[in-house]
Amino acid sequence: MTEAHLTTRFVVGVDYEETGDYALVTAMRLARRLPGSELHPVHVLPSAPGKEKLDQLDVAIDKAGEVLMERVRYAAHHLFGDEEWEQHTVLHVRVGDPARAIHQVAVDMDGDLIVVGHRHQTLVDRLVLGSVAETLLRKSKVPVLIARPKALDGEHKSEWPEAPREGEDIHGGRGWSRTELVKFGPRVSHISGML
């Protein structure tokens, strides 16, 4: 395997809203745990029709890149405080459809995981506009992680959250679970030795 194949690349959609910030923080947590990983924050501007808008678009792209870098720094400070650390980060600003642009960055950069936030939309919004997260889930050729804050208020825990003891049926015959310590690593024998 080459070194390029050993690098894990996280492509994260950043929309300058709370959902994008949460996606960015989630991707940063994942990237930080994998030395040598890359973080690819992507912000997508809407298309600007007309040639007279091209100069304005260049300015908007430059400004969006600056704001994206500020968001990345803010998220890192918010997440890790004053602790110093380095993360290989490549900023991307694109123009057009957000889902398509984020997916294209993932394809171009050989991304391993797309991380996006998801905002709650009304039924009409979903029918008319769709959702970047939903579109990526349906059409992406790269795994997609939907990042959202943990909100367990109102949720009830199982009566038996721990694994059953041997011979104990805690699910009333409606399920199956088993706890076992599994060792991973080099195989000691070929699979044919199992037959």
Token representation of residue 13: 């959609």
**CA–CA distance, 145 with 29 (Å, rounded to integer):** 13
Neighbour tally for 195: CB within 10 Å: 4
Entry pTM: 0.76
Number of domains in the chain: 1
Alpha-carbon span 48 to 57, nearest angstrom: 7
Amino acid type, 29:
R
With respect to residue 158, please indicate whether it lies within any of the assigned structural domains.
no
Residue 92 belongs to domain with CATH number: 3.40.50.620
More confident residue, 41 or 128: 41
Separation between Cα atoms, residue 131 and residue 139, nearest integer Å: 12
Rounded to an integer, the average pLDDT of 137-166 is 81
Give a yes or no: residue 89 inside a domain: yes
For residues 101 and 44, the answer to whether their CB atoms sit within 8 Å is: yes
> Nearest to residue 15, comparing CAs of 110, 106, 115?
115
Query: Domain for residue 170, yes or no?
Result: no
| Domain residue limits at 115 | 3-147
Tell whether 91 is covered by a domain. yes
Look at residue 10 and tell me if it is in a domain: yes
Q: Per the domain annotation, does 171 fall within a domain?
A: no
Render pLDDT for 100-137 as a digit per residue (tens, 0 to 9): 999 999 999 999 999 999 876 566 555 544 688 889 99
Residue 37 resides in a domain: yes
17-26 pLDDT, tens digit per residue, is 888 899 999 9
